[in-house]
Amino acid sequence: MKRRLTIITEIIAPYRIPVFNALAALPEIDVMVLFLSETDPSLREWRVCTEEIRFRYEVLPSFRRRLGKYNLLLNHGVTAALRRARPDVVLCGGYGYLASWRAAYWARQRHLPFLLWIESTAADQRSRHLVVESLKRHYLNLCGGFVVPGQSSCDYVKLFPTGNRPIFIAPNAIDNDFFHKGAEDAWRNDSDGQLRQRLDLPDAYFLYVGRLVEAKGVFDLIEAYAKLESHLRSSVGLVFVGDGSARQELIARARNVSPGRIQFRGFQQKEQLPVHYALARALVFPTYSDTWGFVVNEAMACGLPVIASKVAGCVADLIEGRGTGFTIHPGDVSALASAMRTVSGDDNARAQMSRTALRRILDYSPQACAAGIAESALSVTG
């Protein structure tokens, strides 16, 4: 008999759609996804790809307001949607919204298994107010188990007094096939360098993909690039893909770096990303705080070596000791420059890291993530 699984998550994120599609294809799971909002326009410029959805879902009525660095999202109709779904088990992605708390108490009143899908890590540098931490502990006590994306989140959950409640791993994933095929097309079409010329991309470049905000380490990246030898900067550029509040300051600082070619490509939708990954020498992800870092998955699916700071949640699973790139401490500009120098200067090592990345990312597929979620639902429902 199928288990009815209801998932509550914030927005229709493009990297979650393939996972939920894979989950819906499993014969033992009947999945229903409740989205608290279609998107967050203040932070995300993603196109909402509803035409790709192959699972049952509902977007709850909501009111959203950005209050400084805080994100207020209020929903109504949560309990009505849960009643309509008639779940055997509820999986909630996060604890930061009132809807998450309402769902937890709704499940508790009905003695239904309630799982928390948690991506937080101990390295997350976001402010930890005592009241927030107290509420978090209380919320975790409402949960009968936990679903985590990898080792860092698993270690974080174990810091709390969770007793013998189970922890299930559903590895964070993107559509590997989409990105790899896009990269293969780019390699094929750039055999003579004409694709780079047509897109006005440097002949060789380091790549950053993500929001242009200070917390992502983007100013460190500019500084590290400026530390590279003149001859290296003359032959290898730096490309930023994304947008954010730091863009103008980054452009101003880039003007002072000479020689060198620094480009700002702006925000790119999913369809434009594989070519940027495929033609780069390495992805650089110098973040100060990131629960995972899906751009690392995307880069590896395109066969790209990665330089990432150790605080990114994905590092323990995808990079550290894996032969897929280099890790540095956040804020260590000298180490970042050294890693960029090394990965750019050794063609054989870069080719080996590329092959290893392609093999490693196979274990982080939508099907693998869906299998982990399904295991959690089947286990807690007996």
What does the pLDDT look like over 50-65, one tens digit per residue?
A: 999 999 999 999 998 8
Q: What does the alpha-carbon distance between residue 72 and residue 367 come to, in Å, rounded to a whole number?
A: 33
Arch. (CATH architecture) of 176-363: 3-Layer(aba) Sandwich (3.40)
pLDDT at 126: 59
What length does the chain have?
A: 382
Q: Please give the sequence-ordered ranges of beta strands (E in DSSP) within the chain, or none if there are none.
A: 3-9, 29-35, 56-59, 62-67, 70-75, 89-92, 114-117, 145-148, 167-169, 205-209, 237-241, 262-264, 282-285, 306-309, 325-328
Q: Do domains 3-173+365-380 and 176-363 have the same CATH topology?
A: yes
pLDDT of residue 374: 98
| CA dist., res. 316 & res. 91, Å (int) | 25
> Which helix or strand (DSSP H or E) is residue 278 part of?
helix 273-278
> Which pLDDT tens digits describe the chain residue by residue (382 residues)?
899 999 999 999 999 999 999 999 999 999 999 999 999 888 788 889 999 999 999 999 999 887 776 778 999 999 999 999 999 999 999 999 999 999 999 999 999 999 999 999 998 755 567 878 889 999 999 999 999 999 999 999 999 998 899 999 999 999 999 999 999 999 999 988 899 999 999 999 999 999 999 999 999 999 999 999 999 999 999 999 999 999 999 999 999 999 999 999 999 999 999 999 999 999 999 999 999 999 999 999 999 999 999 999 999 999 999 999 999 999 999 999 999 999 999 999 999 999 999 999 999 999 999 999 999 999 999 7
> Nearest to residue 300, comparing CAs of 343, 360, 357, 362?
357
Count of other CB atoms within 10 angstroms of residue 66: 13
**Displacement of CA 301 from its chain's centroid (Å):** 13
Instruction: Give residue limits of the domains in the chain.
Output: 3-173+365-380, 176-363
In degrees to the nearest 10, what's the CA dihedral of 39, 45, 51, 55? -40
Whole-model pTM over 0.85: yes
What's the pLDDT score for residue 3?
97
**Domain 3-173+365-380 grouped into CATH 3.30.750.24:** no
Would you state the pLDDT for residue 81? Answer: 98
d(CA 15, CA 345): 33
